[in-house]
Structure 1
Amino acid sequence: MKSTGVVRKVDQLGRVVLPKELRKNFAIEKNDPLEIFVDENQIILRKYQYHKACMITGKISEDNMVLANGKVVLSKEGMEILSKEIGKIDVYV
């Protein structure tokens, strides 16, 4: 794990301010959701990427395809499942 050299205190409400440079580097904007993970004695923050979750498998990945102006998100596995299902449909025009 890489140290940033930045130390912040927790305020009386339990809040910690993320430095502006870190927010900029990770494209974290005001009101962006962050996921909180615990790994043994470490707290890990990660920008929540709900918009990249496959609509079929639920898999979250940067490799997922975003289609129809963001209305459809599919992983490779999700595309295979959808393709098989579409192949079963008789379309009459």
Structure 2
Amino acid sequence: MKPAGVVRKVDQLGRIVLPKSLRKRYQMNEGDPVEILVQGDHIILERFRPRCVFCSSMDDIVDFKEKHICSECLREMNRALG
């Protein structure tokens, strides 16, 4: 992990502001979902990208009954039920 060289304080509500240069660089816009990950004693922010609930793939995701499923797992489900 490479440090960005930016220090921000946490406000009373626990918020921090991401600098515009970082938001622009990582294509993060107002209202975009952000995933918060913990790795050891590091907190990692990532743009949220849906993952398949079965295999964790991020490729070719479809929404099915408010769940994210990749097309391959959906095909396998259809074969199993078919």
Q: Same fold by TM-score, threshold 0.5 exceeded?
A: yes
* Structure (1/2) with the larger strand percentage: 2
Note if contact 1:8-1:16 (Cα within 8 Å) is conserved in structure 2. Answer: yes
Aligned residues: 78
Shift, 1:58, TM fit: 5.3
The aligned counterpart of 1:65 is 60
The aligned counterpart of 1:74 is 70
Distance 1:21 1:8 in 2: 14
Which SS does the other structure have where 2:45 is aligned?
Answer: strand
Note if contact 2:34-2:47 (Cα within 8 Å) is conserved in structure 1. Answer: yes
The aligned counterpart of 1:13 is 13
> In the alignment, residue 70 of structure 2 is paired with which amino acid?
L
Query: Any residues of structure 2 matched to 1:19-30 within 5 Å, and which?
Result: 19-30=19-30
TM-score (norm 2): 0.68
Q: Percent identity?
A: 40
Note if contact 1:49-1:60 (Cα within 8 Å) is conserved in structure 2. Answer: no
Higher radius of gyration, 1 or 2: 1
After superposition, the CA RMSD in angstroms is: 2.8
TM-score (norm 1): 0.62
Distance 2:16 2:34 in 1: 13
